[in-house]
Amino acid sequence: MRADEEQAAGATRMHEVSDETINLVDLVLEYSRQRILSTDTPLDGPLPEAELARLAGETIVEDGIGAHRALTLFADVLAPACITTDHPQYLSFIPTAPTKAATAFDLVVSASAVYGGSWLEGSGAVFAENQVLSWLAGEFGLPSTAGGVFVQGGTLGNLSALVAARDHARAELETVGAVQPARWRVVCSAEAHSSIASAARVMDIEVVPVVPSEGGMLTGENVRPALEEHGDSVFAVVATAGSTNFGIVDDVASIAALKEEFGFWLHVDGAYGLAGMLSPLVRHRFAGVEHADSVIVDPHKWLFAPFDACALIYRDPEAGRRAHTQHAEYLDTLTETAEWSPSDYAAHLTRRARGLPLWFSLATYGAAAYRDAVTASLRLTQDIAREIESRAGFRLVREPQLSVVVFERDGWSRADYADWSARLLAEQRAFVTPSSHAGRPNTRFAILNPMTTFEQLVGILDTM
């Protein structure tokens, strides 16, 4: 066989259907089946790089190591070095708890070779994703004409929304012949998510942080002085619907009431907390969201989808399209049509149809099951908050609004929390990390997983 024939044979080997390929697929599917159906997957934990190098060895070699060895390495070495984020005792940061339907369908999305960037190439997938976005928009009180796109995560969602907001502000000033400001500004709470500052760096704009009211809630009264000081240079105000650290919902209604007077774009960062609107227990906290120009919510957080998915929704999707559509000769067939192409609505082009696992899960279980799951998290949060209050030597830092409980143990230093956290993980009891507020160390429970129980949380408290 000539060298070029050998190369061609090697190139096709990775894609052909052979006995080797069939065995490979069976291996992967069986591992996935066991993992999805497992009810006792350990928390696991990180290993030092040197230890991983010793255990795994060199895995990328010219002739490959074979599917069986590669999967064994993943199952026995690499996966156990990753913390299991859907474990019921994963209570740090913001957990994930995808439904079995959503996780299983994530395999289908990859297996189907679906491209989710344009209507031309993926109209069926885009149609399904848009049904989910329309349902979410309705839950948030936005008009039936609202729409958007699923992007990677809240950071990209916030960035894309703010880019659209600035583009809209520029167009508004051009329409009336006004001078563009030398420096664009966005107003947000001093406790807003770090992604707002990240977006500002990318956009080369200034963040105007506003100290919220006592309790961490940003209000219209807090925002007004910043708007009066900076005038037309403020193109957007960001309200947070469920802060990551405390789960605090800003007073969106009082902020929205300023829109007519000051003419800004209202963006609601609800990456974690906006899903709380599904529950009648806390829906009242989100009054005013219906007036937003854009919102985000991350289904991989409290909407039980796998990583990674953020729903970005515009009140007027055309504003997003004007800001984000990419133009190139090879894209003319897409951009010279009115069809809905998701790549036009955010700072991206190529995209997987990452909203489909949520669509399948919602279609399978129904919206009522989601409302029940969110409500259960809220009830459990209140139950454990009352338990913490009842214990001598414990103190709630703030009364929880949603499903994050932040608390202190009297007399504990940062090192005490760190040692306790490390011990919990080493014993495979829980993953609860230290945190802090206003210079004081504390810890927190982020409760999103419907499989987390009151007894498990009490057991963790008992270790303190």
Structural domain includes residue 304: yes
Identify whether residues 184 and 316 lie together within a single domain: yes
Identify whether residues 323 and 375 lie together within a single domain: no
Average pLDDT over residues 223-244: 97
Inter-residue contact 44 to 427 (CB < 8 Å) = no
Identify whether residues 292 and 316 lie together within a single domain: yes
Average pLDDT over residues 98-106: 98
Inter-residue contact 277 to 75 (CB < 8 Å) = no
Residue 109 has pLDDT above 80, yes or no: yes
Phi, psi of 406 (to 5 degrees): -110, 130
Which pLDDT score, from 0 to 100, does residue 328 have?
85
Structural domain includes residue 28: yes
Average pLDDT over residues 219-224: 98
Alpha-carbon distance 185 to 205, whole Å?
6
Inter-residue contact 223 to 187 (CB < 8 Å) = yes
Beta sheet of 404-409, edge-to-edge order:
394-396, 404-409, 440-446, 434-437
Q: What radius of gyration, in Å, describes the C-alpha atoms of the chain?
A: 24
CATH label of the domain that carries residue 313: 3.40.640.10
DSSP 86-149: TSTTB-SSS-----HHHHHHHHHHHHTT---S-HHHHHHHHHHHHHHHHHHHHHTT--TT-EEE
Confidence of residue 332 (pLDDT cuts 50, 70, 90): confident
Which pLDDT score, from 0 to 100, does residue 11 have?
67
Which residue reads 């133009």 in tokens?
327
Identify whether residues 298 and 355 lie together within a single domain: yes
Last residue of a domain, one of 324, 340, 365: 365
Q: Is the peptide bond before 308 cis (omega within 30 degrees of 0)?
A: yes
Alpha-carbon distance 49 to 27, whole Å?
27
Confidence of residue 8 (pLDDT cuts 50, 70, 90): low
Last residue of a domain, one of 331, 346, 365: 365
Identify whether residues 306 and 395 lie together within a single domain: no
Confidence of residue 72 (pLDDT cuts 50, 70, 90): very high
Identify whether residues 191 and 245 lie together within a single domain: yes
Inter-residue contact 383 to 389 (CB < 8 Å) = no
Q: What is the pLDDT of residues 16-28, one digit of tens each?
A: 889 999 999 999 9
* Single pTM value for the model: 0.96
38 three-class SS: coil
Structural domain includes residue 31: yes
Identify whether residues 296 and 194 lie together within a single domain: yes
Structural domain includes residue 100: no
Average pLDDT over residues 130-136: 98
Which pLDDT score, from 0 to 100, does residue 172 have?
94
Identify whether residues 160 and 304 lie together within a single domain: yes
Structural domain includes residue 159: yes
Total domain count for the chain? 3
Confidence of residue 334 (pLDDT cuts 50, 70, 90): confident
Q: What is the pLDDT of residues 42-67, one digit of tens each?
A: 999 999 999 999 999 999 999 999 99
Identify whether residues 205 and 281 lie together within a single domain: yes
Residue 249 has pLDDT above 90, yes or no: yes
Tokens linked to 263:
């003419």
Tokens linked to 258:
């300023």
Identify whether residues 135 and 277 lie together within a single domain: yes
Which pLDDT score, from 0 to 100, does residue 7 have?
62
Last residue of a domain, one of 343, 365, 387: 365
Structural domain includes residue 6: no
Q: What is the pLDDT of residues 198-212, one digit of tens each?
A: 999 999 999 999 999
Structural domain includes residue 194: yes
Average pLDDT over residues 268-289: 98
Domain of 252, in residue numbers? 105-365
Query: Phi-psi category of 438—alpha, beta or left, where left has phi over 0 and alpha has psi -120 to 50?
Result: left
Identify whether residues 324 and 219 lie together within a single domain: yes
CATH label of the domain that carries residue 440: 3.90.1150.10
As a whole-number percent, the residues of the chain with pLDDT over 70 amount to 98
- Of 16-20, 159-163, 275-279, 357-361, give the lowest mean pLDDT range: 16-20
As a whole-number percent, the residues of the chain with pLDDT over 90 amount to 94
Average pLDDT over residues 224-241: 98
Structural domain includes residue 88: no
Identify whether residues 231 and 299 lie together within a single domain: yes
H helices of 257-366, where? 259-262, 299-302, 317-324, 332-335, 356-365
Residue 166 has pLDDT above 90, yes or no: yes
